Amino acid sequence: MSANANSLSQYLEQLPGTTFRRLYLQPSTAFAIFRRMLPHLAKTIVMAMLYMPLPFQLSDLEIWIKPTARREKDQAIAILRSLHIIQRDTPQSMSLTPNFRKSLRLALEGGGDHNSFGVPSTQPAPPEIDIAFLDRYARKKWDDILHYVVNSVGFSSSEKGSNGPKQSVKDLLLGGRLVERKGGGLSITQAGFTFLLQEANAQVWTLLLLWLEAADVLNANGASRAGMESVDMLSFFFLLASLEHGRAYNTDSLPEARKNMLPTLVDFGLIYIPPGNSHQFFPTRLATTLTSSETTLRSVSAGFAAANNGDNGDATQVDKSAIILETNFRMYAYVQSPLQIAVLALFSELKFRFKGLVSGHLTRASIRRAVDMGITSDQIISYLASHAHEQMHRVAASTHKPLLPPVVIDQIRLWQLDTERMLATQGYLFKDFDDYREYIEICNFADDIGVVSWRNDKKGMFFANKVDQIKDFMRTRKKANEGK
């Protein structure tokens, strides 16, 4: 699961059920959540239940799914329940929540009168706005934001032409503690590093979620301007994700609250509004890929690169940034932008720089430096993995080996462990079970849904970082026992 789905699912999971009920009123939202947030088996289960007239018997589910896939099944059901997609009618059956069912059906059938997939503009689009233009535009906007974050580290960027992001975006970055004001200058925080090392799609979500939280805070203070509400904002994001890239949409049909969101989205580079005509907006690639899976994302960066090539007329570079990592800790990165080089310099020792290529070493000192700045080894590894060169993917696929050399990965982790030997997890300790069988059953269930962070079978204790599903499980288990 990519980091971006993680942050989004964390945000979604803490929402109350009523919020979900309202979110699922929009077919585009139900559709986007179905597509983005669910594991494969869960999607299959939802689809099977979608047109089922009666509640689905749990015993039937047991029969349908092979015993070997129990773990996946429990995981799928746990996710579906935490997203309020299914509900348990009786202890022995479950069904889709009514709003979700209705909306997903509408999304698939294409009926209804909800306008949740965007109203296309009837006015002719200006001829100069094509996909390449939008890609260039989105890329520039986004790079401005990244430059702003990176520059706070002190690596100066050579591109002085852009005047940085808008003040509102800067405030948001400050408010989200991605950067901090320290004695006149700006400095990056750990969250900021996390942000930098994510892939573009995850970065967009991080920023959007920051914005949501900021809006929530404003609402709580009663200082809400124009009634921006997080539920509505969230469903508007999902709407944007379902729009068609390179097409003009009508702004007049949007409700007032959403119209007020447009300027900020323009600042992020998610949409483009032609200067002469405020009745149209164009979603950019950043917006339309919000709910895409990872393979498409690779094509997104390729699309960006293509737009870039249009600029410099340099067709030899295909990938925006492609890193080759060797087992001898050497790293070769095909990068163009100073931004990417600055990011690489955060955790490696760069030795040579050529046109379009930098090479360097991962050393103990460089990793230690990064860790001291607050970057974790996992962030470095996921950055390397998500930017791996096509050749790395190909070799990994043909030899059935992991993408990055395991020796390097382990060493990066070890270097980090040199500095920190404790790992704090928030959660709940389960102990003092009535008998061992009860412990084993509950603990195994928790393990199946993937929330156990530590267990000790001898002492009959385990530690879980989430508790809701376990509570339910214990309750049904208790009931079942009483029934006997």
Partner 1 sequence: MNRIDASDHYDESSFAAQTPSLLTIVIDTNPRAWAALHHVLPISKAIANILVFVNAHLAFGNDNQVAVLAAHTNRAVWLYPKSPNPDGGSYGRGQDVHMSGVEPELGTSANKYPQFAQIETSILTSLRALIDSTTAADLNPTTLISGALTIALSHIHKTSLAFEPPKTSTDPANPTTAAALTSSSTATPNLHARILVLSVSDSEPAQYIPTMNAVFAASHARIPLDTITLHGTPTFLQQAAFITGGTYLSAAANPRGLLSYLMFGFLADADARRSLVAPTQDSVDFRAACFCHRDVVDTGFVCSVCLSIFCGVPDGAECLTCGTRLALGAYGAKPAVVPRKRKKKKIARVNGSGGGEDTGSATGTPVPP
Site for partner 1 in 350-409 (CB under 8 A): 381, 390-391, 393-395, 397-400, 402, 406, 409
CB of 328 to partner 1, least distance (A): 19
Indicate the residue among 173 and 254 with the shorter CB distance to partner 1.
254
Residue 138: how many other CB atoms lie within 10 Å: 28
Q: Is there binding between residue 417 and partner 1 (CB under 8 A)?
A: yes
Q: How many CA atoms lie within 13 A of 65 on its CB side?
A: 20
What is the amino acid identity at position 302?
A: A
Per CB under 8 A, the segment of 39-47, 179-187, 214-222, 426-434 that binds partner 1 is 39-47
CB of 407 to partner 1, least distance (A): 10
CB-based burial label for 222 (10 Å; 0-12, 13-18, 19+): exposed
Parallel/antiparallel/unpaired status of strands 452-456 and 461-464: antiparallel
Q: How many Å apart are CA 430 and CA 181, to the nearest integer?
A: 42
Return the axis-axis angle of helices 131-151 and 338-345, rounded to nearest 10°: 40
Per CB under 8 A, the segment of 46-54, 164-172, 327-335, 434-442 that binds partner 1 is 46-54
Number of residues that bind partner 1 (CB under 8 A): 74
Indicate the residue among 167 and 398 with the shorter CB distance to partner 1.
398
Indicate the residue among 109 and 434 with the shorter CB distance to partner 1.
109
Residue 393: how many other CB atoms lie within 10 Å: 14
CB of 399 to partner 1, least distance (A): 7
CA angle 40, 410, 302 (to 5 degrees): 50
Q: Is there binding between residue 39 and partner 1 (CB under 8 A)?
A: yes
Q: Is there binding between residue 137 and partner 1 (CB under 8 A)?
A: no
Phi-psi region of 164 (alpha: psi -120 to 50; beta: other; left: phi over 0): left
Q: Is there binding between residue 138 and partner 1 (CB under 8 A)?
A: no
Q: Is there binding between residue 440 and partner 1 (CB under 8 A)?
A: no
Per CB under 8 A, the segment of 40-48, 149-157, 161-169, 202-210 that binds partner 1 is 40-48
Site for partner 1 in 228-247 (CB under 8 A): 242-247
Q: Which residues pair with 181 in a beta bridge?
A: 186
CB of 293 to partner 1, least distance (A): 5
Indicate the residue among 19 and 115 with the shorter CB distance to partner 1.
115
CA dihedral sign, ordered 179, 181, 186, 188:
negative
Q: Is there binding between residue 425 and partner 1 (CB under 8 A)?
A: no
CA dihedral sign, ordered 234, 269, 375, 296:
positive
Q: Is there binding between residue 218 and partner 1 (CB under 8 A)?
A: no
Out of 218, 414, 440, 480, the residue judged to bind partner 1 by CB under 8 A:
414
Parallel/antiparallel/unpaired status of strands 249-250 and 179-182: unpaired
Site for partner 1 in 164-193 (CB under 8 A): none
Q: Is there binding between residue 447 and partner 1 (CB under 8 A)?
A: no
Closest CA to 181 of 150, 152, 141, 213: 152
Indicate the residue among 13 and 72 with the shorter CB distance to partner 1.
72
Indicate the residue among 114 and 353 with the shorter CB distance to partner 1.
114
Q: Is there binding between residue 298 and partner 1 (CB under 8 A)?
A: no
CB of 49 to partner 1, least distance (A): 9
Out of 20, 23, 73, 151, the residue judged to bind partner 1 by CB under 8 A:
73
Q: Is there binding between residue 480 and partner 1 (CB under 8 A)?
A: no
| Long-range CB contact pairs, 278-282, < 8 A, 24+ | 278/251, 279/121, 279/123, 279/250, 279/251, 279/252, 280/121, 280/123, 280/125, 280/248, 280/249, 280/250, 280/251, 281/248, 281/249, 281/251, 282/125, 282/129, 282/134, 282/246, 282/247, 282/248, 282/249
CA dihedral sign, ordered 287, 293, 294, 299:
negative
Q: Which residues pair with 350 in a beta bridge?
A: 360
Between 99 and 118, how does the x/- string for binding to partner 1 read (CB under 8 A)? Answer: -------xxxxxxxxxxxxx
Out of 217, 226, 318, 440, the residue judged to bind partner 1 by CB under 8 A:
318
Q: Is there binding between residue 130 and partner 1 (CB under 8 A)?
A: yes
Indicate the residue among 174 and 395 with the shorter CB distance to partner 1.
395
CB of 39 to partner 1, least distance (A): 6
Q: How many Å apart are CA 5 and CA 56, to the nearest integer?
A: 28
Indicate the residue among 286 and 345 with the shorter CB distance to partner 1.
286
